[in-house]
Amino acid sequence: MRVGAHVSIAGGVDNAVGNELDVGGNCGQIFTHSPQVWQDPNIDDDEAEAFRDDTSESLDGPWVIHSSYLVNLCTPKDDLREKSVDSMQKEVEAAEKLDIPYVNVHLGAHTGAGVEQGLDNAVSALDELEIPDSVTVLVESDAGSGTKLGGDIDHLAYVLEESEQDLEICLDTAHAFAAGYDLSTPQGVADTLAELDDAVGFENLACVHLNDSKHECGTNKDEHAHIGEGHIGEDGMHAFVNHEDVVEYDVPLVLETPHEDGRGFEWNIQKVRELRDA
C-alpha cells in the first residue's frame, strides 16, 4: 500500500525524505517553494542528488510536486496566464531534476469568462508547456467554490481530452465531497469512482489526495479533517481505500490532513493502514 503525506522541504529538499519516513509514509508530496508567492524552485545539484539517492534507497514512491496556489490556468488575464505558465514550466523542470514523476495543479478560476472559455484557457495554457518525457502533469479535482473549475469530473475529462499533453488526474476526496460527490457511504464511493472511470478512465488516476472533510457534502467548503473523523467518516474512508480499483491499480494515497488535537500525519497514515482490509 502506497500512502504518505505532504511534507516540508525546510532546510533543503533532501530533508523531505526523512520527514516522510518520520511520519510512516512511503510516498509523498512537496512544494518546491512557498505556495503563496511567485517564486522559482531553488534546488542545487547536491540537494537534488541527495533527494534522488535517499528516495531510491528508502521510499516506494512516487513523489508529487504540488504547484503554487497562485497558478490559474483558467484565467482570461494575459499577465496572470503568463506567470502561471512560467511557474508550471519551472515546476516540471524541477520534477525532472529530482526524478519526480508528477506535478499536480488546480485548473483555477475563470473569473467571469465562463466555464467553457475557462476550460479552453486551461487547455491552451497546459499545451504551452514543454513537459519532460519523465514528468506527467496531474489536474486536481476542486471543491468548486465561486468560479473555480475542476469540481465537476466532466471538467477534468474535458481537459484531458482536449489537451495535446499526456495528462492524468489527482482526485482529492475532500474536494470531491465538497463539490457534491457523496463519498460517505460504500454506494456513494462506488458511484463516484464509476463516474470517474467512465469520464477519464481509472488508469488515468495517478494519485489521490486522501482527506476527510470538516464540512458537509456539496457545500463547496474546502477544509480537511482527520481520516474517518469528518463528514466523509470512517465508513466512506474504509470503502474508498478498499475499493477494488484503488487496490488493483495501487493508487498512491497522499494525505493533506490537519495537525491538530495532538495528531498529525503519523496518526492519519496509521489510520489509513488500519482501514485497509488484510
pLDDT in tens, 244-266: 999 999 999 999 999 999 999 99
Q: Output the pLDDT for position 62.
A: 98
Beta strands in the chain (DSSP E): 3-6, 28-30, 63-66, 102-106, 108-109, 136-140, 148-149, 168-172, 205-209, 212-213, 224-225, 253-255
Q: How far is CA 256 from the centre of its chain?
A: 9
DSSP, res 264: -
Domains and CATH numbers, the chain: 3-275 (3.20.20.150)
The torsion region of residue 108 among left (phi > 0), alpha (psi -120 to 50) and beta comes to: left
Determine the Cα–Cα distance for residues 245 and 193; give it in Å rounded to an integer: 9
pLDDT in tens, 112-166: 999 999 999 999 999 999 999 999 999 999 999 999 999 999 999 999 999 999 9
Residue with cell 491552451: 124
The torsion region of residue 167 among left (phi > 0), alpha (psi -120 to 50) and beta comes to: beta
Q: What percent of the chain stands above pLDDT 70?
A: 100
pLDDT in tens, 24-37: 999 999 999 999 99
Q: What percent of the chain stands above pLDDT 90?
A: 99
Q: How far is CA 4 from the centre of its chain?
A: 12
Q: Output the pLDDT for position 278.
A: 56
Determine the Cα–Cα distance for residues 196 and 153; give it in Å rounded to an integer: 7
Q: Which residues pair with 183 in a beta bridge?
A: none
pLDDT in tens, 75-110: 999 999 999 999 999 999 999 999 999 999 999 999
Calculate the average pLDDT of the chain: 97
**Half-sphere exposure (Cβ direction) of 43: Cα atoms closer than 13 Å:** 27
Cell of 70: 497562485
Contact (Cβ atoms closer than 8 angstroms) between residue 67 and residue 45: no
pLDDT in tens, 189-245: 999 999 999 999 999 999 999 999 999 999 999 999 999 999 999 999 999 999 999
